[in-house]
Amino acid sequence: MARIRTNLSAIFLALFLFGCGASHEASLTVFHWNDFHAQNLPREVTSTDSSGAKVRYRVGGAAVLKHYLDSMRTTRPSSITLHAGDEFQGTPISSLTKGASQVRLLEEYGLDVFTFGNH
């Protein structure tokens, strides 16, 4: 009886695996951010370069984020864009426009998934 059970198990396993084709690898790039808090404009930061001199430059902002997303999507067509929330409030622009500024930017980003807040 044990031998019949073993043979039947082997046959069912072979039939089950018969329909399985070779695996095909695929890549998916996930673009994700959260806690933007309406930081639409770049911020000026100060750092020290290798010679010890202070250097000021701008970082961040909505335009930089949009440019980054657009340029990365051209080289990674299989991608998904996620935003985990906390986009609104944090600077006066969001309050003054009652969130309309952020809604407009969210539309421009081409999000696949969005949630309002993450806590």
The pLDDT tens digits for 43-98 are 999 999 999 999 999 999 999 999 999 999 999 989 999 999 899 888 999 999 99
Query: Would residue 43 count as lying in a domain?
Result: yes
Query: Would residue 59 count as lying in a domain?
Result: yes
pLDDT-derived band at 13, boundaries 50, 70, 90: low
Query: Would residue 13 count as lying in a domain?
Result: no
Non-local CB neighbours of 26 within 8 Å, separated by 6+ positions: 78
Please report, for the domain that includes residue 87, its CATH number: 3.30.420
pLDDT-derived band at 20, boundaries 50, 70, 90: low
Query: Would residue 16 count as lying in a domain?
Result: no
Is the distance from CB of 89 to CB of 40 less than 8 angstroms?
no
Full residue range of the structural domain in which residue 108 is found: 28-114
Per-residue pLDDT at 26: 84
Query: Would residue 82 count as lying in a domain?
Result: yes
Query: Would residue 18 count as lying in a domain?
Result: no
**Domains: count for the chain:** 1
Query: Would residue 88 count as lying in a domain?
Result: yes
